[in-house]
Amino acid sequence: MAGCVFCGIVAGSVPAFRVVDSPEGMAFLDTRPVFKGHLLVVPRDHHETLGDLPPAEVPAYFALVQRLALAVEAGLAAGGTFVAINNRVSQSVPHLHTHVVPRTKGDGLRGFFWPRTRYVSDDEARSYADRIAAALAD
């Protein structure tokens, strides 16, 4: 869809630190992560909300989200993950996306107050993306 930043990332016209690019969807680092390694998982086609995703695509999409949640834990030695979807309210980009956020005990995340951070450099961001992608391949 013209003007959609996530469609631009899928098309390759908008840069992103990609972790996986598959028929089921794409995952890349959030540019303003809650914690470093925070991924956004998007379907390749433009669908605004979870309710817009065709039912036939739901199992494969969520299998990808599940694989990425496990890869975030393994690749970043995280204690767990927080997986979330906003539909319209608080959805900053109107393209379905699932947040996969690495968690550690005592990380300070409370409820739905999501403090944001930044990567120090593109090299640091790439190292997080590469570690998760490597764990995905295992």
Q: Give the model confidence (pLDDT) of 4-30 as tens digits.
A: 999 999 999 999 999 999 999 999 999
C-alpha atoms less than 13 angstroms from C-alpha of 35 in its C-beta half-sphere: 21
14-70 pLDDT, tens per residue? Answer: 999 999 999 999 999 999 999 999 999 999 999 999 999 999 999 999 999 999 999
Q: 70 — phi, psi (to 5°)?
A: -70, -40
From 64, 71, 70, select the one nearest 132 (Cα to Cα).
71
Residue 23 is encoded by which pair of tokens?
């028929």
Q: What is the pLDDT of residue 100?
A: 98
Domain positions in the chain: 5-137
- CATH superfamily to which 5-137 belongs: HIT-like (3.30.428.10)
Please say whether the dihedral angle defined by the alpha carbons of residues 56, 84, 41 and 63, taken in this order, is positive or negative.
negative
User: C-alpha dihedral over 77, 135, 98, 51, to 10 degrees?
Assistant: -140
